[in-house]
Amino acid sequence: MKYLISIAYDGSKFYGFQRLHGHESVQKKVEDALSVIAKEKIETKGAGRTDRGVHASDQKVTFKLDINIDEEHLKLALNSLVAPYIYIRDVKTVPDDFHPRFNVLRKEYIYKINLGEFNPLLYDYMFEPNYELDIEKMKECAKIFLGVHNFKNFTSGERANYECIIYNIEFNKHNNILEIKFIGKSFYRYMVRNLVGAMLDVSNKKATLDDIKKALEHPEIKRQFKTAIPSGLYLTKIEYEDLV
Protein backbone atom coordinates (compact mmCIF):
# COMPACT_ATOMS: atom_id res chain seq x y z
CA MET A 1 0.00 0.00 0.00
CA LYS A 2 1.26 3.47 -0.91
CA TYR A 3 0.70 6.32 1.54
CA LEU A 4 0.90 10.11 1.36
CA ILE A 5 1.48 11.98 4.60
CA SER A 6 1.44 15.67 5.49
CA ILE A 7 4.20 16.69 7.91
CA ALA A 8 4.70 19.77 10.08
CA TYR A 9 8.11 20.37 11.64
CA ASP A 10 10.30 22.85 13.46
CA GLY A 11 13.18 23.33 11.05
CA SER A 12 15.44 24.85 13.70
CA LYS A 13 15.85 21.39 15.22
CA PHE A 14 17.03 19.61 12.05
CA TYR A 15 19.72 19.70 9.38
CA GLY A 16 17.05 20.26 6.75
CA PHE A 17 14.47 17.87 5.37
CA GLN A 18 16.59 15.60 3.19
CA ARG A 19 18.29 12.50 4.56
CA LEU A 20 21.90 13.43 5.35
CA HIS A 21 24.52 11.02 6.63
CA GLY A 22 25.71 11.88 10.12
CA HIS A 23 23.08 14.54 10.75
CA GLU A 24 19.52 14.51 12.07
CA SER A 25 17.07 15.35 9.31
CA VAL A 26 13.28 15.28 9.07
CA GLN A 27 13.33 12.57 6.40
CA LYS A 28 15.64 10.36 8.47
CA LYS A 29 13.49 10.78 11.58
CA VAL A 30 10.34 9.80 9.68
CA GLU A 31 12.04 6.88 7.92
CA ASP A 32 13.41 5.56 11.21
CA ALA A 33 9.90 5.67 12.68
CA LEU A 34 8.37 3.92 9.67
CA SER A 35 11.08 1.24 9.81
CA VAL A 36 10.19 0.53 13.44
CA ILE A 37 6.49 0.25 12.57
CA ALA A 38 7.05 -1.92 9.48
CA LYS A 39 9.92 -3.94 11.01
CA GLU A 40 11.94 -3.39 7.83
CA LYS A 41 13.85 -0.53 6.24
CA ILE A 42 11.49 2.02 4.69
CA GLU A 43 12.52 4.82 2.35
CA THR A 44 10.42 7.87 1.54
CA LYS A 45 10.10 10.40 -1.28
CA GLY A 46 9.40 14.06 -0.48
CA ALA A 47 7.59 16.71 -2.48
CA GLY A 48 10.68 18.86 -2.16
CA ARG A 49 13.58 19.75 0.10
CA THR A 50 13.67 22.40 2.76
CA ASP A 51 17.06 23.68 3.90
CA ARG A 52 18.46 23.69 7.40
CA GLY A 53 16.41 26.06 9.55
CA VAL A 54 13.38 26.17 7.22
CA HIS A 55 10.05 25.13 8.74
CA ALA A 56 7.00 23.38 7.31
CA SER A 57 3.34 22.94 8.15
CA ASP A 58 2.47 20.84 5.09
CA GLN A 59 5.45 18.98 3.68
CA LYS A 60 4.31 15.95 1.69
CA VAL A 61 5.97 12.51 1.67
CA THR A 62 5.12 9.16 0.10
CA PHE A 63 6.21 5.61 0.96
CA LYS A 64 5.05 2.01 0.64
CA LEU A 65 4.25 -0.43 3.45
CA ASP A 66 3.57 -4.15 3.15
CA ILE A 67 1.79 -4.32 6.51
CA ASN A 68 -1.94 -4.08 7.11
CA ILE A 69 -2.51 -0.79 8.96
CA ASP A 70 -5.19 1.85 8.43
CA GLU A 71 -4.50 5.57 8.06
CA GLU A 72 -5.57 6.64 11.55
CA HIS A 73 -3.54 3.99 13.38
CA LEU A 74 -0.52 4.73 11.19
CA LYS A 75 -0.80 8.42 12.05
CA LEU A 76 -0.97 7.63 15.78
CA ALA A 77 1.97 5.24 15.59
CA LEU A 78 4.12 7.69 13.65
CA ASN A 79 3.38 10.62 15.95
CA SER A 80 4.32 8.57 18.98
CA LEU A 81 7.79 8.08 17.44
CA VAL A 82 8.59 11.43 15.77
CA ALA A 83 7.51 13.84 18.53
CA PRO A 84 8.06 16.55 19.66
CA TYR A 85 9.49 18.56 16.74
CA ILE A 86 7.67 16.70 13.98
CA TYR A 87 3.94 16.11 13.71
CA ILE A 88 2.11 13.99 11.13
CA ARG A 89 -1.00 15.99 10.25
CA ASP A 90 -2.63 13.62 7.81
CA VAL A 91 -2.26 10.14 6.31
CA LYS A 92 -4.02 8.88 3.19
CA THR A 93 -3.56 6.11 0.64
CA VAL A 94 -2.72 7.02 -2.96
CA PRO A 95 -2.33 5.11 -6.25
CA ASP A 96 1.00 3.38 -6.87
CA ASP A 97 1.86 5.76 -9.71
CA PHE A 98 1.35 8.88 -7.57
CA HIS A 99 4.53 10.98 -7.23
CA PRO A 100 4.81 13.62 -4.46
CA ARG A 101 6.87 16.01 -6.60
CA PHE A 102 5.77 15.47 -10.20
CA ASN A 103 2.04 15.53 -9.36
CA VAL A 104 2.17 18.91 -7.55
CA LEU A 105 -0.47 21.43 -8.65
CA ARG A 106 0.85 24.36 -6.58
CA LYS A 107 3.00 25.15 -3.56
CA GLU A 108 2.76 27.91 -1.02
CA TYR A 109 5.58 29.36 1.08
CA ILE A 110 5.37 32.12 3.67
CA TYR A 111 8.28 34.27 4.76
CA LYS A 112 7.87 35.91 8.18
CA ILE A 113 9.50 39.17 9.26
CA ASN A 114 9.27 40.73 12.73
CA LEU A 115 8.85 44.47 12.23
CA GLY A 116 8.70 45.16 15.97
CA GLU A 117 11.27 45.12 18.72
CA PHE A 118 13.87 42.36 18.57
CA ASN A 119 12.68 39.26 20.42
CA PRO A 120 15.22 36.48 21.07
CA LEU A 121 12.34 33.97 21.35
CA LEU A 122 11.50 34.62 17.70
CA TYR A 123 15.07 34.39 16.39
CA ASP A 124 14.72 30.81 15.09
CA TYR A 125 11.29 31.48 13.59
CA MET A 126 11.45 34.74 11.62
CA PHE A 127 13.75 37.39 10.24
CA GLU A 128 14.28 40.32 12.60
CA PRO A 129 15.86 43.25 10.74
CA ASN A 130 17.54 46.04 12.68
CA TYR A 131 16.31 48.60 10.14
CA GLU A 132 13.01 49.89 8.81
CA LEU A 133 11.61 48.29 5.67
CA ASP A 134 10.06 50.10 2.72
CA ILE A 135 7.19 47.66 2.27
CA GLU A 136 5.68 49.56 -0.67
CA LYS A 137 8.96 49.20 -2.58
CA MET A 138 9.04 45.50 -1.69
CA LYS A 139 5.52 45.12 -3.11
CA GLU A 140 6.61 46.81 -6.35
CA CYS A 141 9.51 44.39 -6.56
CA ALA A 142 7.22 41.44 -5.92
CA LYS A 143 5.04 42.35 -8.90
CA ILE A 144 8.04 41.95 -11.19
CA PHE A 145 8.39 38.30 -10.18
CA LEU A 146 4.82 37.34 -11.14
CA GLY A 147 4.28 35.12 -14.14
CA VAL A 148 6.70 32.87 -16.03
CA HIS A 149 10.38 33.81 -15.83
CA ASN A 150 13.84 32.33 -15.95
CA PHE A 151 14.88 32.52 -12.27
CA LYS A 152 18.52 31.54 -12.74
CA ASN A 153 19.73 34.66 -10.94
CA PHE A 154 17.50 33.80 -7.98
CA THR A 155 18.34 30.10 -7.68
CA SER A 156 21.29 28.33 -6.10
CA GLY A 157 23.09 25.49 -7.89
CA GLU A 158 23.10 24.23 -11.45
CA ARG A 159 20.06 22.74 -13.16
CA ALA A 160 18.86 22.11 -16.72
CA ASN A 161 15.87 24.46 -16.51
CA TYR A 162 15.38 27.59 -14.41
CA GLU A 163 11.97 28.54 -15.75
CA CYS A 164 8.90 28.43 -13.53
CA ILE A 165 5.73 30.35 -12.78
CA ILE A 166 4.72 32.41 -9.75
CA TYR A 167 0.96 32.90 -9.56
CA ASN A 168 0.80 35.38 -6.71
CA ILE A 169 2.79 37.10 -3.96
CA GLU A 170 0.72 38.43 -1.06
CA PHE A 171 1.72 40.77 1.79
CA ASN A 172 -0.09 40.57 5.11
CA LYS A 173 0.78 42.43 8.32
CA HIS A 174 -0.61 41.64 11.77
CA ASN A 175 0.74 42.75 15.16
CA ASN A 176 4.08 43.87 13.69
CA ILE A 177 4.57 40.56 11.87
CA LEU A 178 4.87 40.82 8.10
CA GLU A 179 4.06 37.66 6.14
CA ILE A 180 4.93 37.38 2.45
CA LYS A 181 3.13 34.48 0.78
CA PHE A 182 4.46 32.98 -2.45
CA ILE A 183 2.14 30.82 -4.56
CA GLY A 184 3.56 28.97 -7.55
CA LYS A 185 3.86 25.70 -9.40
CA SER A 186 7.36 24.97 -8.08
CA PHE A 187 10.29 26.71 -6.43
CA TYR A 188 13.97 25.90 -6.81
CA ARG A 189 16.77 25.79 -4.24
CA TYR A 190 17.04 29.03 -2.21
CA MET A 191 14.60 30.64 -4.65
CA VAL A 192 12.07 32.04 -2.17
CA ARG A 193 14.84 33.23 0.14
CA ASN A 194 16.57 34.91 -2.80
CA LEU A 195 13.35 36.59 -3.92
CA VAL A 196 12.82 37.95 -0.41
CA GLY A 197 16.48 38.99 -0.32
CA ALA A 198 16.06 40.91 -3.58
CA MET A 199 13.04 42.70 -2.11
CA LEU A 200 15.12 43.60 0.94
CA ASP A 201 17.89 44.93 -1.31
CA VAL A 202 15.36 47.13 -3.10
CA SER A 203 13.98 48.29 0.26
CA ASN A 204 17.52 49.15 1.41
CA LYS A 205 18.35 50.88 -1.90
CA LYS A 206 21.10 48.35 -2.61
CA ALA A 207 19.29 47.42 -5.83
CA THR A 208 16.74 49.09 -8.09
CA LEU A 209 13.59 47.74 -9.66
CA ASP A 210 15.41 47.97 -12.98
CA ASP A 211 18.17 45.73 -11.59
CA ILE A 212 15.54 43.11 -10.75
CA LYS A 213 13.97 43.31 -14.20
CA LYS A 214 17.34 42.93 -15.90
CA ALA A 215 18.20 39.91 -13.71
CA LEU A 216 15.06 38.17 -15.02
CA GLU A 217 15.39 39.33 -18.62
CA HIS A 218 19.09 38.45 -18.91
CA PRO A 219 19.72 35.31 -16.83
CA GLU A 220 22.97 34.72 -18.72
CA ILE A 221 24.46 37.75 -16.92
CA LYS A 222 25.14 36.76 -13.33
CA ARG A 223 23.69 39.11 -10.73
CA GLN A 224 23.90 38.66 -6.97
CA PHE A 225 21.27 39.77 -4.46
CA LYS A 226 20.81 39.15 -0.75
CA THR A 227 19.71 35.68 0.41
CA ALA A 228 17.23 35.99 3.28
CA ILE A 229 17.97 33.85 6.35
CA PRO A 230 16.25 30.42 6.47
CA SER A 231 14.51 30.80 9.84
CA GLY A 232 11.78 33.05 8.41
CA LEU A 233 10.70 30.57 5.73
CA TYR A 234 7.76 28.16 6.02
CA LEU A 235 6.48 25.60 3.52
CA THR A 236 2.76 26.03 4.24
CA LYS A 237 0.83 24.14 1.58
CA ILE A 238 1.27 21.62 -1.22
CA GLU A 239 -1.74 20.84 -3.40
CA TYR A 240 -2.35 18.03 -5.87
CA GLU A 241 -4.92 18.21 -8.65
CA ASP A 242 -6.61 14.91 -7.79
CA LEU A 243 -6.39 15.42 -4.02
CA VAL A 244 -7.62 19.03 -3.59
State the amino acid at position 159 in one-letter form. Answer: R
42-90 pLDDT, tens digit each:
999 999 989 999 999 999 999 999 998 999 999 999 999 999 999 999 9
| pLDDT for the residue 113 | 98
Concatenated DSSP letters of 92-108: EE--TT--TTTTEEEEE
Per-residue pLDDT at 243 exceeds 70: no
- Measured over the CA atoms of residue 7, residue 13, residue 15 and residue 19, the dihedral's sign is negative
200-226 pLDDT, tens digit each:
999 999 999 999 999 999 999 999 999
Element (H, E) at 89: strand 86-93
Contacts of 38 by beta carbon, 8 Å cutoff, 6+ apart: 65, 66, 67
Under 8 Å between Cβ of 155 and 182: no
Contacts of 186 by beta carbon, 8 Å cutoff, 6+ apart: 48, 104, 107, 164
Under 8 Å between Cβ of 47 and 63: no
- For the residues 125-150, what does the mean pLDDT come to? 96
| pLDDT for the residue 177 | 97
This prediction's pTM: 0.95
Per-residue pLDDT at 193 exceeds 70: yes
Chain mean pLDDT for the chain: 95
Helices (H), strands (E): how many in the chain? 5, 9
Q: Which residues are catalytic?
A: 51
Per-residue pLDDT at 238 exceeds 80: yes
Instruction: Specify the DSSP class assigned to residue 43.
Output: -
State the amino acid at position 229 in one-letter form. Answer: I
Per-residue pLDDT at 157 exceeds 90: no
Domains identified in the chain and CATH numbers: 2-93 (3.30.70.580), 104-240 (3.30.70.660)
